[in-house]
Amino acid sequence: MVDAVRTYLLLAGTWLRAAAQYPASMVMLIVAQAVVTSLDLAAILIIFAHTSRLGGFSLPEVMFLYGTAGVSFALADLTFGSADRLGEHIRQGTLDTLLVRPVGPLLQLATEDFSPRRIGKLVPTGAVLVLALARLDVAWTPGRVATVPLMLAGGYWIFAALWVLSATWQFAVVDGKQAMNSVTYGGAFLAQYPLSIFGRDVLRGLTWVVPLAFVNWQPALYILGRPDPLGLPVFFRFASPLVAAALSVLAAVTWRTGLRRYRSTGS
């Protein structure tokens, strides 16, 4: 594990150095990405110009949800987002070249083209999270304070597992990238809002099928002192690490199976 992290940093660092040879292009990409990411926030602000509550949540509370989902997703995207290039590598036969190296192909995929552009997502979401934490009207008990980093870590882990699952899906469906993007990018978009606004059926789906409710919704209910609209037991507020672990196991198993059954190209 330590070894993998070390290799990851070495590889990502080499890519970063390569990108830094074009500093103007690098800065512009970061800024562009930050602007695009901020558009979602603009949408939230416009909604709140017309109403003071969204699904029963105040602006600082929604900003808290936006910030936690955004930071978790930005970190996962930064570290594992390029894993879903697997389909292209399979189609072009370049996965073979990753497989003959002494480092796991997932690690090579995740660091590939590691670009500071992806940091662009982290800046605005991080800023919003800080702002929301300052303005939240919450009694900060030690339990609540401790839950914030835990929910960020859990959310990161869930999104990272989803990125890997998105990649493994492409072992079966080489063109499956778009379909899985609706889960990863789409999921990140949904998690920015109070999930209660999407209705109980969607909420059930986001709890039991694609467990995005555990990214920030469930722990946030605890921090904000809200009842669960589905009436799930209190245990669920703290289940994020378990869900993340389960998703990781699923991702690891499918990744291995996919690799074992990989057929390569014809030449």
Partner 1 sequence: MLEVEDVRKTFAVRRRTGRLRRTRVNVDAVDGISFTVGAGEFVGYLGPNGAGKSTTIKMLTGILTPSSGRVRVAGLDPVRQRTTLARRIGVVFGQRTTLWWDLPLRDSLALIRHLYRVDRAAHRTRLAELTEVLELGAFLDTPVRQLSLGQRMCGDLAAALVHDPEILVLDEPTIGLDVISKATVRAFLSRLGAERGTTILLTTHDLGDIERLCRRVMVIDHGRLAYDGSLERLRATADADRILVVDLAHPQAPIEVDGARLIRTDGPRQWLAIPPDGNAAAVVAGVAARYDVEDIALREPDIEDVVTRLYRTGAAAGFRWEPDRL
Contact code string over 161-200 relative to partner 1, x by CB under 8 A:
----------------------------------------
Q: Looking at 92, 141, 181, 182, which residue binds partner 1 (CB under 8 A)?
A: 92
Contact code string over 106-145 relative to partner 1, x by CB under 8 A:
--x---xx--------------------------------
Say what angle helices 59-80 and 142-172 make with each other, to 10 degrees. 40
Query: Should residue 254 be labelled a site residue for partner 1 when binding is judged by CB under 8 A?
Result: no
Query: Should residue 14 be labelled a site residue for partner 1 when binding is judged by CB under 8 A?
Result: yes
Q: Looking at 1, 2, 17, 225, which residue binds partner 1 (CB under 8 A)?
A: 17
Q: Which of 63-71, 105-113, 230-238, 249-257 is the region at the interface with partner 1 (rule: CB under 8 A)?
A: 105-113
Least separation in angstroms between residue 103's CB and partner 1 is: 5
Query: Should residue 266 be labelled a site residue for partner 1 when binding is judged by CB under 8 A?
Result: yes
Whose Cβ is closer to partner 1: residue 92's or residue 182's? 92
CA distance 260 to 267: 19
Least separation in angstroms between residue 62's CB and partner 1 is: 40
R_g of the chain computed on alpha carbons: 19
Query: Should residue 50 be labelled a site residue for partner 1 when binding is judged by CB under 8 A?
Result: no
Q: Which of 96-104, 143-151, 156-164, 226-234 is the region at the interface with partner 1 (rule: CB under 8 A)?
A: 96-104
CA distance 31 to 42: 16
Q: Looking at 31, 32, 97, 181, which residue binds partner 1 (CB under 8 A)?
A: 97
Footprint on this chain of partner 1 (rule: CB under 8 A): 7, 10-11, 14-15, 17-18, 92-94, 96-97, 99-104, 108, 112-113, 260-264, 266-267
